Amino acid sequence: MRGRTIITLALFSFFVVATGVIYRRSLGISQARALRTLEERRTALEAQEAALDGAIRDASSRARLAPIAEQQLGMRIPPESLVIIIPRPAGAVRQP
Amino acid sequence: MIKISRVGIVHGAFLCFAVALVGRAAWVQLAQTDRWRARARGQQFSAAELPAIRGAILDASGAVLVESRPMVRLAVAPTEVKEPAALQTALRHAGVPEATVRRALDRNRKWVEVPGMYLSSDVADAMALRGVHPTPALQRVKPQTDGLRNLLGTTDDNGRAVGGVEAALDSLLRGTPGRRAMLRDSRGTRLATPEENATDAVPGHTVVLTLHAGLQDIAERALGDAVTQMGASGGDIVVLDPHTGEIRALASRRAGQAASGATALTEPYEPGSTLKPFIAAALFERGRVQMTDSVNTYNGVYTINGRTIRDVHKAPAMSFAEVIRFSSNIGIVQFAERLTAREQYEALRDAGFGMSTGIPYPSESPGRLYPVSQWSRQSGASLAMGYELSVTPIQLAAAYAAFANGGELLEPRLLQEVRGPDGTPIWKAERRVVRRIMSERTATAMRELLREVVSEGTATSADLATFEVAGKSGTARRTASDGSGYAVGSYTASFVGLFPADQPQYVILVKLDNPSGAYYGGRTAAPVTKIVLEAAIAARDAALDRTRLADAPKRRAPSQASQADSVRAAGVATAEAEAIAPAYVVELGTSPAPARVVVSARPVPDVRGLSMRVAVRELHKAGFRVQVMRGRGEEQQPAAGTMLRAGSLVRLMAN
């Protein structure tokens, strides 16, 4: 082969390799961006879940419900004489 | 002479330039590799600290009391903002104050920090806009009630523990932050790259406490109501499992609001008459006294070593049992003389007074118990009445647990379990016996005495209709804040109860500081105990073993011995008041005794043929207790028409 052909081939090879490297790098960065977005979304959803769990816990807690039950529904804590604890029959299996 | 053409000069110049270029490149690439590589890394990568999520705090049932959740903080660079209208809408939508929104849009400012933390889902629109700079942050979600909040402590803006359980267990909860190299793209956005080594953050451990959120809330509400209604300056409630030493509830109030910490662990007080059972136990354990032994109680006024001691219940003589039942100062002082000073000191020291319990909580107080070498002539009498020493509520509750569990002093526990970041238990607390402080026989005898205190003595206000409660009330004078001695009209009213009396599941201590009006422990603290117990029995989530409760012996008829006690024989009314310290010649007015409820017999209604629900309702309406049993035979026992006292038990058979 003549010298010019060799140089042309070398330049072309360099171009192909460089294009491949840049393409691969661009792809990696775009995937990293997508990954970051997904991680942020996951974190946001987890935080939202924790917030909702907390809100449910707070709303269903005795501290929140008891005053409402007493003031709005007129409910009272029964005296213990009105609480009947039924003994479990012999041989009964405790339910999970 | 060599003739150099102009083309040759140009070629030479290019060659020199090329050599210089290659030489410089070689120099940079080979000789200065490390320097330029480091500089490139500095531009292309940035180190980011990964915050460790602080461990959660759970209650004994696994309910979350405190946890951390990821949030974001926002900062706005107004000069970078391209869409001010969209940013204004997004910030308003997220609930950012209007003043901050205006500042964020003010182009004369370079940087505006938006106060507070936000869920990233709430500020997603704002975060997508240019000029908005979010920073991840962790928010500590606090428990629902003030009391629990103050007990558990908190964390500051930087995530550092401040007070309470958070501070005491900080090394377990805080976790280990990670580090990660982030790749910077052309716009400065930081991206994670798998090519770089990263150290992941290790979340903190999850800590499981022995507290029970349901019971804690019951205790906090009862204490809050009591402090308000009785005009007290504060108070504490401790509920303890006497068989394991686990603290189930710890409520404290000071100056009309939840105390800033667990004052039941940090603030000692003089216990007054609630200490008498320990002197009684020491006497009984050493065989220095029989239940039927009597002493002269001098109709309520007695002078010893020049000091006048008074009883609220005035009687010429009292038996040992009556001394506890009616909280006679004169009686216990005379019985205590059967112990040497060293024996008395050892009995109290062995009960854990004067020493820290070891609960992991900042600034737990050991209380105060002077050694015999520092006693005065009055000390023996003072200690017998619960003065000249100070105890924390938790110490006293732990000591009472010995009466409930057969004589063992247990280490009270607030921490039940520690779980690793993956949820696997890495440490579990075990029941730890500090020492045996009395025999089972003595503990049983003391329980019987304490039962009589509630059924017929100074603390009948704590009595329940179905279950028996044992306990001891106390009313002690309080020292003035200026250190000038005991203040006139200032008292600590307390009651320590065991529930139920026979197989106790709770030791419950109620202490009220400076209650106004009827200040006796039997009249103020004992009813609060009853309120807590009633609420706990009615609740599903109050750490009560209902199977054991169903099997627990129910109310018994008063003993014949107690019916014929010498106090009644002397014609003394059973007032719900106990003796206060007699060391101070202050006439303490005896509150009038409440009218005794006359319980008359009534016929059992006929509920045969009714549905179980209606039958139970009818029987309750008629004033009877009901037990539903499986079996055949008579549908109700006793039969309809039988005359029974109100509160008697009627059994219904469910086929």
pLDDT score recorded for residue B515: 92
A48/B121 touch (CB, cutoff 8 Å), yes or no: yes
Average pLDDT, chain B: 85
Q: Looking at the complex, does the CB of residue B69 fall below 8 Å from at least one CB of chain A?
A: yes
- B41 and A14 Cβ atoms separated by less than 8 Å: no
Question: Min CA distance, B214 vs chain A (Å)?
Answer: 7
Q: What is the mean pLDDT of residues B277-284?
A: 95
pLDDT score recorded for residue B89: 92
* Predicted complex: ipTM over 0.90: no
Report chain B residues whose CB lies below 8 A from the CB of A64: 144
- B558 and B468 Cβ atoms separated by less than 8 Å: no
pLDDT score recorded for residue B383: 94
Sorted by sequence, the CB contacts under 8 Å of residue A88 that are 6+ apart come out as A94, B547, B550
Sorted by sequence, the CB contacts under 8 Å of residue B257 that are 6+ apart come out as B146
Question: Min CA distance, A60 vs chain B (Å)?
Answer: 11
pLDDT score recorded for residue B151: 86
Helix axes B341-350, B276-285, angle to 10 degrees: 110
Question: Min CA distance, A70 vs chain B (Å)?
Answer: 13
pLDDT score recorded for residue A90: 66
Question: Min CA distance, A51 vs chain B (Å)?
Answer: 8
B42 vs B512, residue with greater confidence: B512
Cα distance between residue B636 and residue B652, in whole Å: 5
Cα distance between residue B323 and residue B327, in whole Å: 5
Is the pLDDT at A77 greater than 80, yes or no?
yes
Query: pLDDT over 70 for what percent of chain B?
Result: 89
Sorted by sequence, the CB contacts under 8 Å of residue B500 that are 6+ apart come out as B467, B468, B469, B549, B552, B553
Query: pLDDT over 90 for what percent of chain B?
Result: 47
Identify which of B85, B190, B89, B180 has the alpha carbon closest to the alpha carbon of residue B134.
B190
Is the pLDDT at B576 greater than 70, yes or no?
no
A84/B626 touch (CB, cutoff 8 Å), yes or no: yes
Report chain B residues whose CB lies below 8 A from the CB of A88: 547, 550
Task: Quick: pLDDT tens for B428-449.
Answer: 999 999 999 999 999 999 999 9
Task: Quick: pLDDT tens for B222-251.
Answer: 999 999 999 999 999 999 999 999 999 999
Task: Quick: pLDDT tens for B477-504.
Answer: 988 877 778 888 889 999 999 999 988 9
Cα distance between residue B250 and residue B230, in whole Å: 20
Cα distance between residue B134 and residue B118, in whole Å: 10
Is the pLDDT at B7 greater than 70, yes or no?
yes
Q: In this complex, which of A32, A54, A80 lies closest to B537 when CB atoms are compared?
A: A80
Task: Quick: pLDDT tens for B22-72.
Answer: 999 999 999 999 999 888 888 888 777 788 889 999 999 888 898 888 888
Is the pLDDT at A44 greater than 90, yes or no?
no
pLDDT score recorded for residue B256: 65
B541/A62 touch (CB, cutoff 8 Å), yes or no: yes
Report chain A residues whose CB lies below 8 A from the CB of B622: none
pLDDT score recorded for residue B444: 95
Task: Please return the burial class of B85, using the count of CB atoms within 10 Å of its CB with bins 0-12, 13-18 and 19+.
Answer: exposed
Report chain B residues whose CB lies below 8 A from the CB of A29: 183, 185, 191
pLDDT score recorded for residue B32: 93
Sorted by sequence, the CB contacts under 8 Å of residue B254 that are 6+ apart come out as B233, B234, B260, B263
Interface of A to B at Cβ within 8 Å reads 29, 32-33, 35-36, 39-40, 43-48, 50-51, 53-54, 57-58, 61-64, 66, 77-89
Report chain A residues whose CB lies below 8 A from the CB of B214: 62
Q: What is the mean pLDDT of residues B554-580?
A: 47
pLDDT score recorded for residue B579: 56
A48/B185 touch (CB, cutoff 8 Å), yes or no: no
Q: Looking at the complex, does the CB of residue B622 fall below 8 Å from at least one CB of chain A?
A: no
A66/B64 touch (CB, cutoff 8 Å), yes or no: no
B193/A88 touch (CB, cutoff 8 Å), yes or no: no
Helix (H, G, I), strand (E, B) or coil at B319: strand
pLDDT score recorded for residue B573: 39
B258 vs B210, residue with greater confidence: B210
Q: Could you give phi then psi for residue B653, rounded to 5 degrees?
A: -95, 125
pLDDT score recorded for residue B78: 92
Q: What is the mean pLDDT of residues A7-14?
A: 94
pLDDT score recorded for residue B1: 65
Q: What is the mean pLDDT of residues B581-594?
A: 35
Q: In this complex, which of A35, A53, A83 lies closest to B537 when CB atoms are compared?
A: A83
Q: In this complex, which of A47, A64, A81 lies closest to B144 when CB atoms are compared?
A: A64
**Region of poorest pLDDT, from B5-9, B376-380, B504-508, B580-584:** B580-584
Count CB atoms within 10 A of the CB of residue B426: 13
pLDDT score recorded for residue B557: 53
Is the pLDDT at B633 greater than 70, yes or no?
no
